[in-house]
Amino acid sequence: MAEMVAMAHEALRGLISAPENKELECREFLQYAKGALVRDTVIEFVYVEKERRGTSGDSDYIVSCKVCDETGVESVKAYIWELKAPQCYVFEKDTENRLRPTKELVQAENQLLHYYHEHKGCEQFKNDFGVTHSDNVLFGGIIIGCHARRTKGDYQEEKRNKLFEKALMIRKKYIYDPLHIRIIHWDYILDLLKHPMSPERNPVEAHEVLSQPLDPESIVVTSSP
């Protein structure tokens, strides 16, 4: 298993640095880091589905698991995630001193809100994912971009970093944090494949629903020159 995760790390690193959009290829690596996509203490994973069909579109990645809170109460919770390629920028230049979200980030936010709203009220969704109460259908978040593609604009590096931190802080304070929405770079997923996982964040479960087991050697990686 350790060898497989190491192979996955190298393959994902190549996909992140590739010039072309690699969203679908990168999505396959979430099977190795799905423990990082949920909250609470995981007892076991129940169900994972990609491209969950809904009336408003297809959810990119949904994972449900049995969890235990601080009082020992167990429940099954489902987390809904929207994905964009590591080649997508998160923010772009608006003015000399202000950034705005890219169209890819705005699209991800809009999709996530619609999918969450629909699935939360769907009995078939709750049955499929083992959730007994609508309150346990939760926002996961958005995985988009990478460290090298955080901000698009002709800024000096120091100013670019400060503007990114400010733009993200504002969006988290007034939108993401109140709704418990997380925003993650693909570099974060890559880092999880490099460092050992804790027991409650076991990267692979035998019963995870996947169309085919991932073979990192079968992935063709195109790197930037």
pLDDT in tens, 1-33: 667 777 889 999 999 999 999 999 999 999 989
pLDDT in tens, 64-100: 999 988 888 999 999 999 999 999 999 999 999 999 9
Give the DSSP H/E element, type plus range, for residue 16: helix 2-17
Looking at residue 69, what is its pLDDT?
Answer: 85
- Within the chain, strands assigned E span 41-54, 57-68, 74-83, 91-95, 98-101, 137-143, 151-152, 182-184
Count CA atoms within 13 Å of residue 102 on its CB side. 19
pLDDT in tens, 110-120: 999 999 999 99
Q: Out of 22-26, 139-143, 208-212, which region has the weakest mean confidence (pLDDT)?
A: 208-212
Domain ranges of the chain: 2-194
The secondary structure of the chain in percent helix, strand, coil, rounded to multiples of 5, reads 45, 25, 30
- The residues near 77 (Cβ < 8 Å, ≥ 6 apart) are 38, 39, 40, 64, 65, 67, 131, 136, 137, 138
Looking at residue 70, what is its pLDDT?
Answer: 86
Res 103 pLDDT > 60? yes
What is the average pLDDT score of the chain? 87
Looking at residue 6, what is its pLDDT?
Answer: 78
Res 218 pLDDT > 70? no
Q: In whole angstroms, what separates CA 11 from the centre of its chain? A: 18
Looking at residue 195, what is its pLDDT?
Answer: 58
How far CA 71 is from CA of 36, 95, 136, 144, in Å, comes to 21, 49, 17, 34
Res 206 pLDDT > 80? no
DSSP three-state, residue 50:
strand
Q: What percent of the chain has pLDDT over 70?
A: 85
Q: What percent of the chain has pLDDT over 90?
A: 75
pTM: 0.85
